[in-house]
Structure 1
């Protein structure tokens, strides 16, 4: 099996793309190959934003390819370019950003290797320009010029005929020759819910009338129309709400006296302080499961509660016990934390900043059993390194942290069930002597 086919098979398994993996890889390959200055020009784009070392490592397959996260990839290529490639590959922009972080380094490596290219890949522009063309002289030149002139005349007549027919059809149908200008989107859609007893206070703005009606009807079905107060305004300048469909589906379970939720663009603020512990935990788990792409604040769970209750003079053992109750999650196949993990990351960093001087804490990442042993071990090590870097950015001393990746070598649950695999995808902490 060629390196190209092995790369596609690995992408199909790791990202659950199935038969679409070959098409996605071809789209990325064609885009890279279409760059006017080739790989050197693309490398310059990465160098301009301080990511030249990453790209350079991809062009040398014998070296360890440095990872890249979605925000860095967007900084190098631009959101518009990523959205365009995602559209061509048939994927949503969010899912494509994650997949591209892992496929682009491999594609660059294949294009850099003369034996790694897909045999069916069309020649590049440089190869086509380098192909010698036969010289035309004498009478052959005259005949060629005559043929070119005749073909140009025929093409001109065909274009005129098409334009004439199109104009006639538009006049016949009285169709205006203009389209409505798109309204520019200037701010995020917003929706806040605050339940007090049986009463629900609703405020917000959404870009479409159908969205307003869907939300209001769903809230009426759950709480009763007589218990709804406030309003949702129509705001065509608001950007579409990516969380709206999922929220409508979850409204029957996202309820309870004292619950407050505030959605605004990519952010979600939560307040469950007026609810019981069991309800707070259930609500937080539901939100983390269904809205992990959003940046959340106000989540509650055993780990966050334990960290909040730590005394200022807590020793290393107390801090480690509390840290091992927390949950940090990564994007599938990525070293980037999910949005719902950022609050937990801040709390973990605060606890580690308080460990006694001279302490060494292992920050270990684990995976489930999906994928190869070596691939999982490498991914878990990259995740541990990325987490250690994020903790340093939150003020934890570098000499305190020892990142380690164990792959799927130490499972705590059965990998044959989704629940067990989810438990095995975890981060653990322990003090080192």
Structure 2
């Protein structure tokens, strides 16, 4: 990963989160240490754990050539766990919510930059090694306070890092001193090996934290065997007790609810009796105890349903007879085909507002309705009229297309592919007039490019698409009102003749 790309990533994260560049660099250093921890499978192992926690589609976008899918705070909290996020938040002097947001803003771009041409990296790039080394003291302080594991081994590693950042061998207690002595003997006290020593110890601590704090009650894991040093001239410390076997992969929690003639028919699986009781109580309160049918299984291997409260908040919308909804990990399917169009639209908009960070299939809006209603042999003008009724949504202040726009873009791609040879459609990006005009122009260009890239991924021939950003220069409503600004923030399709 080139230093220019790293500096750009720091700038982008700073703009999105408001963090200063030093804090962003510290966060990148920590995430890098975790990404390349060989004791837990290195880069591929880290990606596998995130996939197990429902982030497979997002990871694919980071590794691929298209725009990176956003990583909302809710998904960060589910993947990393509250203990790890709170620890990072305390060290960066942030709230847990702000730390989760910062991780979500950083990880997609970091993984994208590391995986050039879609290939998983084999080791830490030279440009990032000192970023990890510079937070040796950071890891040390956390290690001595019990960060990641309440074991002497973890504290010793952390203490050795802290001591090494000053002068190896000056730790505060006997355990830390022993670890420092071991490292000192291996490196001969020479400062030239210090970055490698810091890196190796940092990876151990990051591994313990990531495995021990992913949303489970705190437990005391066995000491881990340190990984080999990065250079043959540096010996590794004596091995500790064998590491525990990796926990079994969690299955995905999910439920399906159908309103059958006023009765809620439910099925699925949740991770605990408490989650099951919470859902069943909410269903009975919404539909009446006599109108709830079916059964939800309890599967201790399932991941906790972080979305359960949001689903319960949506239950009143399912009182419309014929409505069907299923949640499976971070994917939702909605079926409103039995409802009138106005009710379909209202229910879809409500679902989008609550679950905008999920991949949602079955949404209904005026654009999807119009695209689905196109007759064989439709003209290019008919197509753009339908496209301009569709809503394509982005993460605030960025060119990241939110996952709730996936259905709209699939429908749009199908329609564009059905147009005759020679048809050319412009994808135009527009903003309101909030902020700097030059920045708005750049954002509009980036968003238009992102939509074009996604349509190309969905099979639209490149010759049929042109992307262009107009910034704030072509408003269609009054920027003095919020509703007007919302109309001006849009993607506008037109036929190029």
Normalising by the smaller structure, the TM-score range is 0.5 to 0.7
Q: Which runs of 5 or more residues in structure 1 are unaligned?
A: 1-6, 38-44, 50-65, 73-78, 107-111, 114-120, 126-147, 160-175
Q: Is the 8 A contact 1:261 1:268 kept in 2?
A: yes
Q: 1:229 matched to which residue of 2?
A: 293
Of residues 88, 94, 104, the one that matches 1:97 is 104
Q: 1:394 matched to which residue of 2?
A: 458
2:384 aligned with 1:320: yes
The change in CA–CA distance for 1:244 and 1:94 in structure 2 (over 3 A counts) is farther
Q: Is the 8 A contact 2:426 2:495 kept in 1?
A: yes
Q: What is the CA–CA distance in structure 2 between the aligned matches of 1:157 and 1:398, rounded to whole Å?
A: 60
Q: 2:150 matched to which residue of 1?
A: none
SS in 2 for 1:232: strand
Q: What is the CA–CA distance in structure 2 between the aligned matches of 1:380 and 1:392, rounded to whole Å?
A: 18
2:494 aligned with 1:430: yes
TM-score normalised per structure 2: 0.58
Q: Is the 8 A contact 1:98 1:331 kept in 2?
A: no
The change in CA–CA distance for 1:194 and 1:368 in structure 2 (over 3 A counts) is same
The change in CA–CA distance for 1:419 and 1:211 in structure 2 (over 3 A counts) is farther
Q: What is the CA–CA distance in structure 1 between the aligned matches of 2:486 and 2:399, rounded to whole Å?
A: 16
User: How far is 1:88 from its partner?
Assistant: 2.1
SS in 2 for 1:262: strand
2:255 aligned with 1:204: no
Q: 1:169 matched to which residue of 2?
A: none
Q: Is the 8 A contact 2:70 2:105 kept in 1?
A: no
Size of the aligned set, in residue pairs, is 347
Of residues 365, 371, 374, the one that matches 1:307 is 371
Q: 2:429 matched to which residue of 1?
A: 365
**Aligned 1:92-131 pairs, distance under 5 A:** 96-101=103-108
Q: What is the CA–CA distance in structure 2 between the aligned matches of 1:207 and 1:254, rounded to whole Å?
A: 23
Q: 1:267 matched to which residue of 2?
A: 331
Q: 1:28 matched to which residue of 2?
A: 27
User: How far is 1:155 from its partner?
Assistant: 4.0
Q: Which runs of 5 or more residues in structure 2 are unaligned?
A: 1-8, 37-42, 48-64, 72-77, 90-95, 114-125, 137-166, 179-218, 223-243
- Residues 189-233 of structure 1, C-alpha deviations (whole Å, 9 max, x = no match): 011110023211011111122211221111111111111001112
The change in CA–CA distance for 1:178 and 1:356 in structure 2 (over 3 A counts) is closer
Moved more, 332-341 or 412-421: 412-421
**Aligned 1:29-428 pairs, distance under 5 A:** 30-31=29-30, 69-70=68-69, 88-89=88-89, 90=96, 91=98, 96-101=103-108, 155=174, 184-415=248-479, 418-428=482-492
User: How far is 1:319 from its partner?
Assistant: 1.0
User: How far is 1:265 from its partner?
Assistant: 0.6
SS in 2 for 1:252: helix
The change in CA–CA distance for 1:153 and 1:273 in structure 2 (over 3 A counts) is closer
Q: What is the CA–CA distance in structure 2 between the aligned matches of 1:192 and 1:332, rounded to whole Å?
A: 31
Q: Is the 8 A contact 1:33 1:124 kept in 2?
A: no
CA root-mean-square deviation: 4.7
The change in CA–CA distance for 1:29 and 1:222 in structure 2 (over 3 A counts) is closer
The change in CA–CA distance for 1:21 and 1:252 in structure 2 (over 3 A counts) is farther
The change in CA–CA distance for 1:226 and 1:419 in structure 2 (over 3 A counts) is farther
The change in CA–CA distance for 1:32 and 1:242 in structure 2 (over 3 A counts) is closer
Q: Is the 8 A contact 2:368 2:408 kept in 1?
A: yes
Q: What is the CA–CA distance in structure 1 between the aligned matches of 2:393 and 2:382, rounded to whole Å?
A: 23
User: How far is 1:247 from its partner?
Assistant: 1.3
